Amino acid sequence: LVAFVTFLCFAASRAPGAYTALAGMEVVITALFFLLYLLKLDKKMSWLFWPLADIFNSVIAALFLLVVCLCAVIIKSNNGTLAGGVFGLVLLVLSVVDAVVLFQKISLGGPRGRN
């Protein structure tokens, strides 16, 4: 939801394309991971360790969000861009928390069952 709000703020303020594209991409990737786990497709496609892919997504998204949202907050061309940058920084914190929690839950040496 925070990624979607960030996307809406950037899109409504007619921010530069990189801001809107990053927020939109994060909305789509998060929705795809949500559907993957909701439909239990991660069990059917066991050739990839999906929690680790989710961690990589969170870390890479956090890095991109750090750069783009700091630029949006510092430049603050209008109020929508500033709001999008602030929501993006909140999304950055949530992405880091997601990566840390997932990393603590997985065991790379153990079985791939769910807790």
Can you tell me the distance from the alpha carbon of 26 to that of 46, in angstroms, rounded to the nearest whole number?
24
pLDDT tens column, 3-57:
888 888 888 888 777 778 888 888 898 888 888 888 888 788 878 777 788 888 8
Can you tell me the distance from the alpha carbon of 45 to that of 48, in angstroms, rounded to the nearest whole number?
7
pTM over 0.95: no
Q: Work out the pLDDT band at 85, boundaries 50, 70, 90.
A: confident
